[in-house]
Amino acid sequence: MNERRAAIPAKTLLGLTSCLLAACCPSTTNPAPAGHPQEEHVAIDDAALESTAQALIREHGEGEAERIRRGLRQVAERWWTEDGDAAALGTFAAGQFVSETEALADTARHLEYAMEMLDGHFLEADREISRFQDLDEGPMRPIDELLAAYGPGAHVLEDLFQNRIAFVVLLNFPLTTLEQRLADGPTWSRDTWALARLAQRFEFRLPATVIQGIDAASSAASRYIDAYNIRMDRLRRGEVSPGFPEGTRLISHWGLRDEIRAQYAQEGGLERQRLIAKVMERIVRQEIPAEVIDSDTVEWDPETNLVRAVGETAWREGAREADERYAQLLAVFRANREADRWFPSLPTHIARSFERDREMPEARVRSMLEAVLGSPVARRVATLVQQRLGRPLEPFDLWYTGFRVGGSVDEEALSVETRAKYPTADAFRADLPRILGDLGFTPEKAEFLASHIVVEPSRGPGEAIGAGRRDDNAHLRTRLGAGGMDYKGYNIAVHEMGHTVEQVFSVTAIDHTLLQGVPNTAFTEAFAFLFQARDLQLLGRPMPDADQVTAWRALQRFWDAFEISGVALLDLEIWHWMYDHPDATPAELREAMVAAARELWNRWYAPVFGVQDSVLPAIYSHIIAFGLYTPDYPMGFLITGQIEAWMHGKNLAEEMERMCRQGRLAPDVWMQGAVGAPVSADGVLEAAEAALAVVGE
């Protein structure tokens, strides 16, 4: 698994998308909080509303009475002082309520086009002004940080309320509750779903200053993470070099984690894995000397935590990095907490993350994650891992990849091949039609998809940014070194290709652009994992028979889900802790993170690994920068398992396009349409159990 930074960059995800692209969870009321002179809620009394309703009923007929009263109530609940008094609301409603069927349909079509243009162009602007920070195309300038922190769409929601477009939507189209969407959604028409998504984007009225604050905090945290590299060739064990090639520079956590995976196939890899795990622990505990971060001038012994300048012989203590890791997390938390008062029915970022963004309650997601972590099959799979390794398990074996089809691979040898094959991003882009053809897409469809995907070199770990309008392209980003794309970069690229193919289908093949996308991020991760599991196959490596392939993929998927489920629970626990301790210092948060990681390990992993008190799950950079993103990864594996089972014996390309054409329905409605069952952990657990019987325990 390479759970890359998602389908869109953090700034867009937490800012623009939260207000323009993501579904808003329902509420019955959304009064503006008091205390802001220009944003105070105008209390439109019942008598005034009913008077306005009666006037509209006389004009449009008694048959429209229910729509009129509902629409007026939806508008009044979001009407602020700046919008005018009750008379102004009445004048607005008289001019904008639409009752004639064709006129209402035309209004919806015009709004759909307008929203596509707004969403798409602002997403494009955000992507392009951030490129200097995000892409590895030369040195950054101080101005680039300011550009990346700027959210072009931050004022759009506010503007749409101020010029009353949002109120036109609320007056004429119904808000729906999550319960309605889950219960009635399977019987809704495509038009009904599209109009439900249109109204949802205006469920909550959020000031631009709050969105800008989230953008700024997220951008700063992403910048911190993107620059957090460790020079592996400068690591030492006493006077001994562990043998990493000159120039090896790995980003935390992605590069470090993937190097642990790579070392399973290397002679002397176990000692290097232990050294990398110690590096991770130093980062989590914030014990890492500040001067070794992204530096090739300092040697560092992670075991003793001593440093020395290259060429010196005497070791010394280095000043540890200040608690910047946890200061960044607190900044992201506090920026999101500023939004709490504007969401009376979802008063925490935790609630919004699940109820609004995922449309899956926290309790349900928790139960699925715990079902994976607590499954008896975990010990059986762990026993198989131990047998295959020929030694007791160690905490870093969470990242064991020996179940992948083809087994643990010699990444150095593969990197020679991938660098020669893909010396530039353009070379990978040129090979996309062939890759997509190998996955089952027709030549025409492969060319179409490739023509809508731009490949770029990433300064960070890698990402995919989908388009928001049909005439734009998806952007696939991965890391390229000076010598070309190594195997890690290739593996990332295949993962991101899964995202971008979904993104192209979900925008260009959709009947309603109001439904573009998938239900939540876990679904696009599912397609990314689906592609990534085939990376060696796409390099032309020989594959075992179909049953063996299915079994090995099922075991690797379970082990990956088992690993990342704990990370997701830790992410959740630390957000709950921050809400319980909103005034915490970075040092206090650091101690809380270490304690929570240790407790989580001892509850879920120690019984399987036989080792106590590890803090390795806390290494994930997503926890720091991306605001409760990690639960999407284990959910993505569960969804991938269900999709893989459904696709057995079918054409992957055809089935993927069919599924993506559904668009952004509620998660279980989408899954019922895709595979005939709701989202569940059962598929991954049952497949792992069946796989054990195939490969032998």
Question: Over the stretch 203-246, which tens digit does the pLDDT of each residue have?
Answer: 999 888 998 999 899 989 999 999 999 999 999 999 999 999 99
| Interatomic CA distance for residues 470 and 147, integer angstroms | 25
Tell which wins on pLDDT, 481 or 25. 481
pLDDT at 36: 44
Phi-psi region of 198 (alpha: psi -120 to 50; beta: other; left: phi over 0): alpha
pLDDT at 545: 84
Average pLDDT over residues 72-90: 94
- If asked whether residues 26 and 52 sit together in one domain, one would say yes
476 DSSP β-pair partners: 455, 464
Residue at a domain's end among 325, 341, 362 = 325
Q: What is the rounded average pLDDT for all residues in the chain?
A: 91
Q: What are residue 142's phi and psi, to 5 degrees?
A: -55, -35
Count helices and strands in the chain by DSSP H and E runs: 33, 8
pLDDT of 35 over the 80 cut: no
Domain membership flag for residue 4:
no
pLDDT at 407: 59
pLDDT per position as a tens digit, 85-101: 999 999 999 999 999 99
| Interatomic CA distance for residues 476 and 106, integer angstroms | 36
Residue at a domain's end among 224, 243, 269 = 224
Local confidence band at 406 (pLDDT 50, 70, 90 cut-offs): low
pLDDT at 44: 85
pLDDT at 29: 42
- If asked whether residues 61 and 203 sit together in one domain, one would say yes
pLDDT per position as a tens digit, 245-284: 999 999 999 999 999 999 998 999 999 999 999 999 999 9
Cα 495–chain centre separation: 13
pLDDT of 481 over the 90 cut: no
Q: Is the distance from CB of 453 to CB of 432 less than 8 angstroms?
A: yes
- If asked whether residues 54 and 192 sit together in one domain, one would say yes
Domain membership flag for residue 624:
yes
Domain membership flag for residue 484:
yes
pLDDT of 21 over the 90 cut: no
Local confidence band at 461 (pLDDT 50, 70, 90 cut-offs): confident
Helix (H, G, I), strand (E, B) or coil at 85: coil
- If asked whether residues 398 and 316 sit together in one domain, one would say no
Local confidence band at 546 (pLDDT 50, 70, 90 cut-offs): confident
Give the start-end residues of each E strand in 216-370: 229-231, 249-251, 298-301, 306-309, 316-317
- If asked whether residues 217 and 306 sit together in one domain, one would say no
Domain membership flag for residue 361:
yes
The single-letter DSSP state of residue 278 is H
| Interatomic CA distance for residues 172 and 64, integer angstroms | 11
pLDDT at 524: 96
Domain membership flag for residue 2:
no
The residue type of 576 is H
pLDDT of 32 over the 60 cut: no
pLDDT of 49 over the 80 cut: yes
Average pLDDT over residues 349-353: 97
**Segments forming the whole domain that contains residue 633:** 327-404+545-650+659-695
Helix (H, G, I), strand (E, B) or coil at 306: strand
Residue at a domain's end among 177, 205, 224 = 224
- If asked whether residues 303 and 393 sit together in one domain, one would say no
Average pLDDT over residues 650-672: 96
CA dist list (Å): 350 to 200, 201, 217, 353, 354: 19, 19, 17, 5, 7
Domain membership flag for residue 527:
yes
- If asked whether residues 396 and 366 sit together in one domain, one would say yes
Domain membership flag for residue 5:
no
- If asked whether residues 162 and 300 sit together in one domain, one would say no
H or E element that contains 2: none
| pTM listed for this prediction | 0.88
State the total domains in the chain: 4
What DSSP line would sit under 447-502, residue for residue? HHHHHTEEEEEBSSS-EEE--SSTTS-EEEEE--BTTB--HHHHHHHHHHHHHHHH
pLDDT of 104 over the 50 cut: yes
Tell which wins on pLDDT, 37 or 428. 428
The first and second tokens of residue 50, run together, are 């009913």
pLDDT of 679 over the 90 cut: yes
| Interatomic CA distance for residues 343 and 624, integer angstroms | 23
pLDDT at 4: 35
CB-based burial, 227-252: b 16+ in 10 Å, e otherwise: ebbbbbbbbbbeeeebebeeebbbbb
- If asked whether residues 557 and 621 sit together in one domain, one would say yes
Q: Is the distance from CB of 608 to CB of 378 less than 8 angstroms?
A: yes
Task: Say which residues have a Cβ less than 8 Å from residue 275's Cβ, sequence separation at least 6.
Answer: 235, 237, 242, 302, 303
Domain membership flag for residue 182:
yes
- If asked whether residues 16 and 152 sit together in one domain, one would say yes
Among residues of the chain, what percentage have pLDDT more than 70? 93
Residue 342: closest CA among 158, 172, 162 = 158
pLDDT per position as a tens digit, 485-544: 999 999 999 999 999 999 999 999 999 999 999 999 999 999 999 999 999 999 998 888
| Interatomic CA distance for residues 168 and 675, integer angstroms | 37
pLDDT of 5 over the 50 cut: no
pLDDT per position as a tens digit, 566-594: 999 999 999 999 999 999 999 999 999 99
- If asked whether residues 318 and 336 sit together in one domain, one would say no
- If asked whether residues 354 and 370 sit together in one domain, one would say yes
Task: Say which residues have a Cβ less than 8 Å from residue 18's Cβ, sequence separation at least 6.
Answer: 211, 214, 352, 357
| Interatomic CA distance for residues 679 and 444, integer angstroms | 32
pLDDT per position as a tens digit, 280-309: 999 999 999 999 999 999 999 999 999 999
